[in-house]
């Protein structure tokens, strides 16, 4: 048996382990974790929606994060660092400010997507204006991110009377998740999956280089722009559901690459999606537990986004350090 086939068997093994981990977390979240209010069907339904939302958002963020990193050839980006998520949150806040009506969830998703797209375009333009290196993208993203985060924070005070849960959008939480989100998130997951299937081969070519991609029959500029914009917009639109969750899109692809031992884009995005689902579900389960007192009677909860940042930020810093050590600078 060739080494290559053994390697493929390893991937299968990893997928099974990951799925088992995911289902364990789902079960834990469904049966045990959260407020000791008994076990009425309402509680189960609430828990179920939360688990679904957290897993699907994690899946979308992990998958689109992998697509963003590969298409930009940049190990340091995700929809949070590029400012896309903040742009989405800002657009949602702005909508609440100017509109008195409660919006359909699908409309909110589209608004978040448009906000994310605007932020992404600013980031790309700034980064390309200063040479388009990977660090230029990170720095431009930090600027755009701060701008939209600041503006969103300001707006959150103004719209708090209309939507008491709006402050959660700034840190990311599944506390106030509406069951109506589930079909929307399933739809977005399917769209990202289709995007992954169609972009795996061109992304592999782009990873090796633009000229290489061109002689493989792809237009590198068009392919890159399309993939970045589509995965950016999908990543941004989920903030309408759960607010801004950083680092999932950044760390999941890296964990997937480490596990697989390769950056082949035929495998990384989907495994990154599963890893993202596990990480976010883990964070959400954890967020429900962390303030639980004795007998698991919770006195409140920490937003999942905060937990993710708590663990994600050190990981990001370690990637930065490895990145610059490798460069010898």
Partner 1 sequence: MMPGDIVIDIERAGYRNKQVFENLKIRIPSGKITALLGPNGSGKTTLLKMLFKRIRYSGKILIGFKELSMISVREIARLISYMGEITLPDMMGLKVFEALLISRSSLYRGLIERQEDIREAEAVLRELGIEQLSERRLDELSSGELRKVVLGMALIKHPKYLLLDEPDSHLDMLSKIEISRIIKKYSGRTTIIIATHDPVFAVNTAEYFVLLRDGRVVDEGKLEHIIGNKSIEKTFGVRLKYIYENNRLVGIIPVYD
Contact between 214 and partner 1 (CB under 8 A)?
Answer: yes
Structure tokens at 289: 């537990």
Residue 319 binding partner 1, by CB under 8 A: yes
Task: Say if residues 61 and 276 touch (Cβ distance below 8 Å).
Answer: yes
- Please give the Cα distance from 72 to 199 (Å, whole number): 13
The single residue among 74, 123, 231, 237 that binds partner 1, judged by CB under 8 A, is: 74
Segment 105-164, which members bind partner 1 (CB under 8 A)? 134
Q: Does 215 bind partner 1 (CB under 8 A)?
A: yes
For residue 229, the minimal CB distance to partner 1 (Å) is 20
Task: Name the nearest CA neighbour of 195 among 227, 233, 237.
Answer: 227
Name the nearest CA neighbour of 238 among 93, 107, 85, 96.
85
Q: Which stretch binds partner 1 (CB under 8 A): 19-27, 180-188, 281-289, 318-326?
A: 318-326
- Supply the DSSP symbol for 179: T
* 3-class DSSP assignment, residue 20: helix
Q: How many chain residues interact with partner 1 (CB under 8 A)? A: 37
If you ran DSSP here, which 8-state letter would residue 75 be given? T
Binding window for partner 1 (CB under 8 A); candidates: 39-47, 195-203, 286-294, 308-316: 195-203
Write the CB contacts of 322 (distance below 8 Å, at least 6 apart in sequence). none
Report the residue from 195, 200, 234, 239 that binds partner 1 according to the rule CB under 8 A: 200
Q: How far is the CB of 186 from partner 1 (least distance, A)?
A: 23
| Secondary structure tally for the chain: helices H, strands E | 13, 0
CB of 131 to partner 1, least distance (A): 15
Residues 27-66 contacting partner 1, CB under 8 A: none
Which two three-digit tokens encode residue 245? 């969750």
What's the start-to-end Cα distance of the chain, in Å? 43
User: What is the nearest approach in angstroms of partner 1 to the Cβ of residue 88?
Assistant: 26
Cα 263 from Cα 258, distance rounded (Å) = 9
Distance CA 79, CA 243 (A): 12
Q: Which two tokens stand for residue 309?
A: 């940042």
Among 17, 31, 197, 297, binds partner 1 (CB under 8 A): 197
Rounded to whole angstroms, the Cα distance separating 247 from 255 reads: 12
Please identify which residue in 41, 101, 211, 328 interacts with partner 1, judged by CB under 8 A. Answer: 211
Tokens linked to 129: 């204006």
* Region of 73-81, 113-121, 140-148, 159-167 interacting with partner 1 (CB under 8 A): 73-81
Q: Which stretch binds partner 1 (CB under 8 A): 103-111, 168-176, 210-218, 277-285?
A: 210-218
Q: In angstroms, give the least distance from the CB of 39 to partner 1.
A: 44
Closest CA to 127 of 215, 171, 68, 172: 68
Q: Is 327 in the site for partner 1 (CB under 8 A)?
A: yes
By CB under 8 A, tell whether 208 contacts partner 1.
yes
Residue whose CB is less far from partner 1, 3 or 98 = 3
Q: Does position 192 bind partner 1 by CB under 8 A?
A: no
- Cα–Cα distance, 291 to 285 (Å, whole number): 11
Which residues, 254 to 313, sit near partner 1 by CB under 8 A? Answer: 254, 257, 261-264, 266
List of residues contacting partner 1 (CB under 8 A): 2-4, 69-70, 73-75, 134, 197, 200-201, 204-205, 207-209, 211-212, 214-219, 254, 257, 261-264, 266, 319, 322-323, 326-327
């Amino acid at each position: 048996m060739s080494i290559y086939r053994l390697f493929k068997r390893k991937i299968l093994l990893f997928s099974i382990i990951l799925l088992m981990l995911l289902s364990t977390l789902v079960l834990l979240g469904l049966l045990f974790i959260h407020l000791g209010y008994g076990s009425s069907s309402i509680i189960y339904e609430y828990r179920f929606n939360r688990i679904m939302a957290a897993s699907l958002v994690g899946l979308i963020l992990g998958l689109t994060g992998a697509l963003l990193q590969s298409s930009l050839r940049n190990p340091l980006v995700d929809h949070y660092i590029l400012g896309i998520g903040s742009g989405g949150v800002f657009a949602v806040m702005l909508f609440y400010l100017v509109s008195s009506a409660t919006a359909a969830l699908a409309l909110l998703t589209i608004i978040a997507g448009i906000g994310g797209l605007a932020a992404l375009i600013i980031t790309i333009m700034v980064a390309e204006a200063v040479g388009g290196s990977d660090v230029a993208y990170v720095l431009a993203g930090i600027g755009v991110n701060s701008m939209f985060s600041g503006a969103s924070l300001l707006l959150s005070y103004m719209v708090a009377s209309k939507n008491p849960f709006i402050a959660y959008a700034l840190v990311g939480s599944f506390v106030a998740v509406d069951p109506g989100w589930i079909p929307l998130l399933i739809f977005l997951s399917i769209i990202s999956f289709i995007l992954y299937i169609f972009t795996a081969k061109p992304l592999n070519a782009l990873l090796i280089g633009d000229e290489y991609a061109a002689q493989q029959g792809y237009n590198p500029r068009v392919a890159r722009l399309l993939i970045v914009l589509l995965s950016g917009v999908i990543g941004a639109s989920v903030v309408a559901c759960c607010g801004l969750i950083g680092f999932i899109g950044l760390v999941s692809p890296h964990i997937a690459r480490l596990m697989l031992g390769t950056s082949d884009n035929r495998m990384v995005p989907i495994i990154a999606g599963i890893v993202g689902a596990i990480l976010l579900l883990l964070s959400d389960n954890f967020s429900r537990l962390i303030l639980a007192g004795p007998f698991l009677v919770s006195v409140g909860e920490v937003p999942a986004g905060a937990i993710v940042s708590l663990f994600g930020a050190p990981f990001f810093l370690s990637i930065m350090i490895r990145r610059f050590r490798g460069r010898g600078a």
